[in-house]
Structure 1
Amino acid sequence: MDTLETAAPRLHDLKATPETIQWGAFDAATEPVCRIRSGDFVTIECLTHHAGDAPDLLMDDAIRRIYDAVPPDQRAPGVHIVTGPIHVEGAEPGDTLECRALSFAPRLRYGSNFLANWGLLHGEFGEQERVFIYEADVETGVARAVFQYAFKPEQPAYPGMVTPVDAAARMPALKNIAVPLRLHFGTAGVCPAADGKVSTVPPGPHGGNVDNREFIAGTSMHYPVYRTGALFWAGDTHFAEGDGEVSGTAIEAHVNATVQFILHKGSVTRNPMLDTPTLWMCHGFHEDLDEAVREATLEMIGFLVVKWGITREEAYSLCSVAGDLRVTQVVDGVKGAHIAIRKDLYRP
């Protein structure tokens, strides 16, 4: 696999506006909002669709304009706000687009964790949805809950629904608890191969709502390209998340991310692969978690055969004796799993 050589990299500033975001869909028919070359840097404003959980804390004027500009019936077929698409010069189907995450910074200090009806244990809690609002302290690297309230809308809920501020309903939450910050992309990826509007909810080979909490600054996600120009979107950013994302959400928050895109000619894996300073991580996706686990393991086996020149049987052995198999998320319809292998196992 070859890296495409280009001229000196440029820096692009991609703001989130009604003209540069999509709400709920990846769609190849969308006109690119930014055109770049391999090696270029892009600062992307990424928004959460949970700003309505505490509009007094999670909205500024620009965010309100976006919420006002997109009617609820046009927030479909998924739920996430994604910024893009970004067209990468020279990208063609069969290539690999590397997205290097360089930095993440909160746009606003607050984020929302929603105990949702699609969460793993919704029935165990009387089918009562609940909101926890957290405040990020970047200096100390933690987030703390500032209040919670029961979510009881007077009308059927919809993506981005704004809940009126009721100070009396806001109760204290999680006293003496500090959650380490891990700012990352929840949803990011290239345009899927399918035509039309593709939901942002399920992850897939294109990436999308992968929800890997390890996709932090200093790591790279490698995406298989399906469309000319790749067409990259990002959004659904988080302050922190646990593997599994069992309540249905992470700490959903607005984050400004700076990334670098590197185009590689040829493919790495069939699914997105995360490259950290110490690990390779391959992903699997399926409605059945067992099948997602199986797919992730097969992806890693295939990758190690090419990367380290070992046999499939040898790679299978390594996955069993040195691979860390994890649940990425279990709440997006299509479940996710990933397996991690330490890079330092290879010592030529």
Structure 2
Amino acid sequence: MYRLKRDSVIYEMSKNNEPVLYINPGDKIIVETEDCFGHKITSEDQRLGEDFDFSKVNPATGPIYIRNAKPGDSVVIEIKRIELDTHGVVELYPGFGLLGDNIYESRTKVLRIESNHAIFDTMQLDLKPMIGVIGVAPLQGAVPCGIPGAHGGNLDTVEITVGSVVKLPVFVDGALLALGDVHALMGQGEICGTGVETRALIEIEVTLDANYHINEPIVETSEAIYFLSSNENLDLAIKNATKYAVSHISEKRKLSFEEAYMLSSIVCDLQISQVVNPLKTVKMKVPKSVL
């Protein structure tokens, strides 16, 4: 099994990044990830300020070159394990998040992570580890790791967790997979701009599907398939995620688009992944029971 240390990171996803590991489809990898602030905030006396380099947020370990991955394929990443560090941080910063205009100075809260809980003051909160950043190189340009898109990136989707499968479209040879920004716990929407940000160790298995072309990321759990879409315009993201889901139901159930649309309206759930990144991410949940 391969192992990538957290000192091999990128801050933007691009086809110009040099791979730090070459793997074959079917290989398993242990990936050490850095927290979103590069471990520069470890106590409540430290906080974000004007001296912080915001171009260095959300470092992603990689990129990983997947042999035989070609544009039009899908990379399939099964998440086997997430092991968390012993603490995580939650950060407030003026202008961050939905209510950032009500925040006038930055603040850091450090939470211990122990016995399957994150400790918030006297509250023991059940851990729900998830991967915030997972993506491949886009076709053109470089996308900072703090931004989501068709390539994946900063999706901040709580279903990207142990036991789930993430499917990403391939835009360049080798795909150039990278991941990071693990949260010990995060609510849907990530409304203040952070979850419980922590270092982690992730075990994944990577395969390819050359016969399954997708436009944007898909996350599959034991119970449902989530069709994701990210866009600066939230309404357009909602429309795209809905169209992906309806089209999938139409194909799988051999229904007309109109019938699949009606079925989707009564069994599928439109949900928000995050609304605090430069592009908003939504998801349409399709229960496997209807497929």
Q: Same fold (TM over 0.5)?
A: yes
Q: CA shift at 1:83, angstroms?
A: 0.6
> Structure 2: how far apart are the matches of 1:206 and 1:30?
15
| 1:133 pairs with 2:74 | no
> Structure 1: how far apart are the matches of 2:133 and 2:96?
17
Is the 8 Å Cα contact of residues 268 and 303 (structure 1) preserved in structure 2? no
Per-residue Cα deviation, 1:282-319 (whole angstroms, up to 9, x for no partner): 01211122221111101111222233322211221122
Per-residue Cα deviation, 1:132-173 (whole angstroms, up to 9, x for no partner): 111112x3x22112xxxxxxxxxxxxxxxxxxxxxxxxxxxx
| 1:12 pairs with 2:6 | no
Q: Secondary structure at the match of 2:245?
A: helix
Q: 1:72 to 1:129 in 2, by over 3 A?
A: closer
User: Which of 40, 44, 63 is the matching residue for 2:27?
Assistant: 40
Q: CA shift at 1:86, angstroms?
A: 0.5
> Structure 1: how far apart are the matches of 2:229 and 2:263?
18
User: Which of 261, 266, 270 is the matching residue for 1:325?
Assistant: 270
Q: 1:249 to 1:72 in 2, by over 3 A?
A: closer
| 1:179 pairs with 2:125 | yes
Per-residue Cα deviation, 1:84-117 (whole angstroms, up to 9, x for no partner): 01011100000000010000001x2000111233
Per-residue Cα deviation, 1:172-216 (whole angstroms, up to 9, x for no partner): xx33x2222111110011111113x32112210100000001111
Is the 8 Å Cα contact of residues 269 and 303 (structure 1) preserved in structure 2? no
| 1:121 pairs with 2:76 | no
Per-residue Cα deviation, 1:214-259 (whole angstroms, up to 9, x for no partner): 1111000100100101110001111010000000111110010000
| 1:246 pairs with 2:223 | no
Q: CA shift at 1:128, angstroms?
A: 2.7
| 1:295 pairs with 2:237 | no
| 1:53 pairs with 2:41 | yes
Q: Which is further off, 46-55 or 237-246?
A: 46-55
Unaligned runs of 5+ in 1: 1-10, 59-70, 146-173
Q: CA shift at 1:21, angstroms?
A: 1.0
Q: Which is further off, 241-250 or 42-51?
A: 42-51
Is the 8 Å Cα contact of residues 24 and 67 (structure 2) preserved in structure 1? yes
Is the 8 Å Cα contact of residues 91 and 263 (structure 1) preserved in structure 2? yes
User: Which of 65, 71, 92 is the matching residue for 2:70?
Assistant: 92
Is the 8 Å Cα contact of residues 77 and 204 (structure 2) preserved in structure 1? yes
Q: CA shift at 1:323, angstroms?
A: 0.7
Q: CA shift at 1:260, angstroms?
A: 0.3
Where is the strand percentage greater, Structure 1 or Structure 2?
A: 2
Q: What's the counterpart of residue 140 of structure 2?
A: 194
Is the 8 Å Cα contact of residues 34 and 198 (structure 2) preserved in structure 1? yes
Give me the CA root mean square deviation. 2.0
Is the 8 Å Cα contact of residues 57 and 110 (structure 1) preserved in structure 2? no
Is the 8 Å Cα contact of residues 92 and 227 (structure 1) preserved in structure 2? yes
Residue type matched to 1:187 in 2? Answer: V
Q: Which is further off, 285-294 or 200-209?
A: 285-294
Residue type matched to 1:49 in 2? Answer: C
Q: Which is further off, 108-117 or 253-262?
A: 108-117
> Structure 1: how far apart are the matches of 2:181 and 2:270?
24
Q: CA shift at 1:53, angstroms?
A: 2.1
TM-score by length of 2: 0.92
Is the 8 Å Cα contact of residues 269 and 302 (structure 1) preserved in structure 2? no
Q: Secondary structure at the match of 1:53?
A: coil
Is the 8 Å Cα contact of residues 329 and 336 (structure 1) preserved in structure 2? yes
Q: Which is further off, 329-338 or 285-294?
A: 285-294
Is the 8 Å Cα contact of residues 122 and 128 (structure 1) preserved in structure 2? no
Residue type matched to 1:330 in 2? Answer: V
Is the 8 Å Cα contact of residues 97 and 223 (structure 1) preserved in structure 2? yes
